[in-house]
Chain A
Amino acid sequence: MGRRVRHERTHRPSPRSRALALTVVDVTFALLAAGALVVLTTIAGLVFRRRQGRARTVDSVEAVDPALLGAESLGPEATLVQFSTEICSRCPGVRRVLTQIADARDGVSYIDVDLTHRPDLAQHFRVLQTPTTLVLDRRGVIRTRFGGTLERAAVESELTRLQKEPTRA
């Protein structure tokens, strides 16, 4: 092997130094790529975290049938519907917040829907992540949608707004 390398060296003057130089380039490239990976992932995480818990106003006319959600009735003034799965690390926290809010308000009820074995419901309500929370008004129409974790204050202000709305025919 040693002899062979020496032999090649006499024919091509610098293959080894060329290989070495390329290795240095490779290592530099790999480290830069790894650094870029860390930076981009951090940015993605920050963007994701910022988008979490934002209230999105929904323009829907469909009145949700409580039976579809496995509930007997909706809240007389508003309903909080949370979609969860068994595989959802942040659902229990949201569940705690929402049940507390619903308990503290008259006329607001809370429904938890487990989508683990219900892809049909996930399809119907276009749920792409859990937890997803819908706020329904007194007619059962979806008014607001929260993707992911949510802030208590944002839910409270949505409910206050809905509860203040005049009853329509």
Chain B
Amino acid sequence: MPDTSRIDARGPRFAASITAVLLLVATVLSLIGISTQRGAYGWFAYQPLADATFRPDGWAVQQLPLLDRVADPGFVVVLVIALLFVWGVTSPRTAPWGVLYRRVVQPRLAPPTEFEDPRPPRFAQGVGLFVTAAGLLLHLAGVPWALPIAAAMAFVAAFLNAVFGLCLGCQLYLVLQRAGLIGRRGPAAV
């Protein structure tokens, strides 16, 4: 019963695998970047710019100028992932990993046996976007550890989806709805 509104269930899991790998890289990069560095140590102590405001016990991410926070490799990778999430939410049909799957991977596999609704994976992309965007903004605001924690949280969700087919974002839907944060309140017409 494959009709046009349904998608091959393996597509989103393929995309989640790539996203999970990227997020793991992002987690490592942001752990060794400025997000977790104390002011007394690390390469930035020798930057002439930092000298003026150098405090030995502060967090590096709070002392460095905004440009250095943006230039942090972890920040750049998480930013790229967040932009891919934006793409996945706004235009799931043209999102790169989906296109890669349909053009390159799917033709080499057996015809799909399992189809699914495209809405759940799209919602999950939105949850991923929310988590990574929060990490990016907190990092820019100078909050230490925000970036690796956000990347790690998003990694957990992407990994569980890729390996176990468990959509954590979808599980969250009901919790958020019961908390009254999303969805319509009260009984609707059946």
Interface residues in chain A, defined as those with a beta carbon under 8 Å from any beta carbon in chain B = 1, 4-5, 8, 15-16, 18-19, 22-23, 26-27, 29-31, 33-34, 37-38, 41-42, 44-46, 48-49, 70, 85-90, 92-93, 115-123, 127-130
Contact = CB atoms under 8 A, between A and B. Distances in A.
Contacts of A48: 160, 164, 166
Interface string B3-21: 0000001001000000000
Given A30-B28, A128-B175, A8 B166 contact: no
Contact of B42 (A22, A37, A120, A130): A22
A37 B155 contact: yes
A164 to B, nearest CB: 34
Interface in B132-190: 148, 152, 155-156, 159-160, 163-167, 170-171, 173-175, 177-178, 180, 183-188, 190
A19 B45 contact: yes
B31 A26 contact: yes
Q: Report the 5 A-B pairs with minimum CB-CB distance, sorted nearest first.
A: A30-B31, A89-B120, A45-B164, A117-B188, A70-B190
Given A38-B24, A42-B163, A117 B183 contact: yes
A88 B170 contact: yes
